[in-house]
Amino acid sequence: MRSRTIPPSRKPVNSSRTELEQSVTEVFTDKYGAVPACVVSAPGRVNLIGEHTDYNDGFVLPAAINRATAIAASPRPDHSLLIHAENLGATMLLDLKDLHPRKTGSWSNYPAGVAHFLLKQGITLRGATMVIRGDIPRGAGLSSSAALEVASAYAFLTLNEVTMPPLDVIKLCQRAENDFVGVKCGIMDQFISCLGKKDHALLIDCRSLDYVHVPFPAGVHLIVCDTGVKRALASSEYNKRREECAAGVCCLASRIPGIQMLRDVTPGHLMEFGELLDPVVLKRCRHVVTENDRVTRSVDALRANDLVQFGNLMYASHASLRDNYEVSCPELDAVVEICSRVDGVLGTRMTGAGFGGCAICLVREVYTDAVIERLQREYPPRTGKTPGITVCTFEQGVTVSSA
Ligand code: GLA
């Protein structure tokens, strides 16, 4: 293995997907003296509602956004993966015959993990030269990891002329993150990065893996506000929440025959048997059970173009994540509180795992500037941090172009 660090490129990364693809192609061509055989780009996501429900077999409603990770790639005649991460100014040389998780250069664990599980499925992989470039802020809860896994998977599949159904790619990428990178995430992020659709959100049933695209109404904007708090606690607390959910199911199963996951538990069950549970576990269960219900009602509201109801469900989701699931933080609460006082705001909540990262705000278009102005004015004195504000659009999932 060879690892070296050079100063990151000064070239600005543009948020437009086509420009990102063009720029990763240019970097590849400059560095390796030939155009890449394929260029893949996979988007990050926001989750509109349905937080911490995916690993409980529940419902989620994410959307792919106009931030992505792009990979330019060509085959190599040997068994190595030469991968350059342009944003980090780092290059790794890995041996396809000896792939294992690494501590240094941990970013390379994502493509390496994907390659590892493709090989495990019996797919023969040629060596590859790759350049990665992206504009999804890392550690901001917008799924830069899933985008890198999905882009890597499609790059390997394309270079090796293998086709695989999207659901299999999604499961393989989740497995790479769970069992190679070591983060026990659910399936939502990889799912939306593959199957996002322009101007639509995606309702996913995380048990059956059935999904349906839900059109997002015109006349509103979704503002994403990065709190600037990196999700440091995220993986240990995330795993703890998963364990608490499992403990809840285990205890309730003695009274409710046949339940497998919190998906099977109703608000009525919690009323009847809640006192059997440890009070903290009860709060965690209450969040998941009510959140699943909110997702279903949100989709009904979107279909009926009832954005007021949709927004109210966003507020309720945030309150439950803050008070029952306890995964918010003062900065996320500050964004939500500031936005909620601006005219034209329909709803706002944290998005993603929590403990920092981003909050989202659904606002009637004409009030967008007012929200941005208020966040810029009020957030820094309250938190000592600068908000990272983007108005996002909903985009299609992974795309591949071959030379
Ligand atoms: C992270 C995980 C997802 C999901 C969310 C919380 O983004 O990767 O699988 O569990 O947190 O909803």
- Give per-residue pLDDT as tens, 154-172: 999 999 999 999 999 999 9
Give me the percent of the chain exceeding a pLDDT of 70: 95
Amino acid identity at 203: L
Residue 16 is predicted with a pLDDT of: 86
Alpha helix locations (H) across 84-143?
109-120
Whether the per-residue pLDDT at 238 is higher than 80: the answer is yes
Give me the percent of the chain exceeding a pLDDT of 90: 91
- Measured CA to CA in angstroms, residue 100 lies from 111, 114, 268 at distances of 11, 11, 47
Atom of ligand 1 nearest to the CA of 177: 8
Tokens encoding 217: 């109404």
Residue 113's CB is within 10 A of a number of other CB atoms, namely 27
How many angstroms does the Cα of residue 273 sit away from the middle of ligand 1?
28
Whether the per-residue pLDDT at 151 is higher than 80: the answer is yes
pLDDT band at 234 (very low <50, low <70, confident <90, very high): low
Q: What is the pTM of this model?
A: 0.94
Residue 14 is predicted with a pLDDT of: 37
Residues 158 and 150: beta-carbon distance below 8 Å: no
Sign of CA dihedral 95, 98, 99, 105: negative
Closest protein CA for atom 8 of ligand 1: 185
Alpha carbon 176 to chain centroid, angstroms:
15
Atom of ligand 1 nearest to the CA of 238: 11
Residue 168's CB is within 10 A of a number of other CB atoms, namely 11
pLDDT band at 2 (very low <50, low <70, confident <90, very high): very low
Residue 233 is predicted with a pLDDT of: 54
| pLDDT, tens digit, 9 for 90 and up, residues 251-296 | 999 999 999 999 999 999 999 999 999 999 999 999 999 999 999 9
Least confident range from 12-21, 175-184, 189-198, 217-226: namely 12-21
Q: Give 131-173 as a DSSP string.
A: EEEE-SPTTSSS-HHHHHHHHHHHHHHHHTT----HHHHHHHH
What's the chain's average pLDDT?
94
Atom of ligand 1 nearest to the CA of 353: 11
Active-site residue flag, 189: yes
Residue 5 is predicted with a pLDDT of: 29
User: 177: closest CA among 215, 218, 145?
Assistant: 145
How many angstroms does the Cα of residue 60 sit away from the middle of ligand 1?
10
- Rounded to an integer, what distance in angstroms lies between the CA atom of residue 233 and that of residue 227? 15
| pLDDT, tens digit, 9 for 90 and up, residues 322-376 | 999 999 999 999 999 999 999 999 999 999 999 999 999 999 999 999 999 999 9
Give the pocket of ligand 1 (CB within 6 Å).
47, 51-52, 54-55, 185-186, 188-189, 352-353
Atom of ligand 1 nearest to the CA of 141: 7
Adjacent-strand bridge partners of 383: none
* Element of type H or E holding 233: none
Rg of the chain over all Cα atoms, to the nearest angstrom: 21
Closest protein CA for atom 9 of ligand 1: 186
Least confident range from 114-118, 228-232, 345-349: namely 228-232
- Rounded to an integer, what distance in angstroms lies between the CA atom of residue 217 and that of residue 200? 9
Closest protein CA for atom 2 of ligand 1: 185
| pLDDT, tens digit, 9 for 90 and up, residues 9-43 | 333 333 589 999 999 999 999 999 999 999 999 99
How many angstroms does the Cα of residue 141 sit away from the middle of ligand 1?
9
How many angstroms does the Cα of residue 147 sit away from the middle of ligand 1?
13
Average pLDDT over residues 372-392: 97
| pLDDT, tens digit, 9 for 90 and up, residues 306-317 | 999 999 999 999
Residue 122 is predicted with a pLDDT of: 97
First to last CA, the chain: 29
Residues 110 and 183: beta-carbon distance below 8 Å: no
Phi-psi label, residue 401: left if phi above 0, alpha if psi -120 to 50, beta otherwise: beta
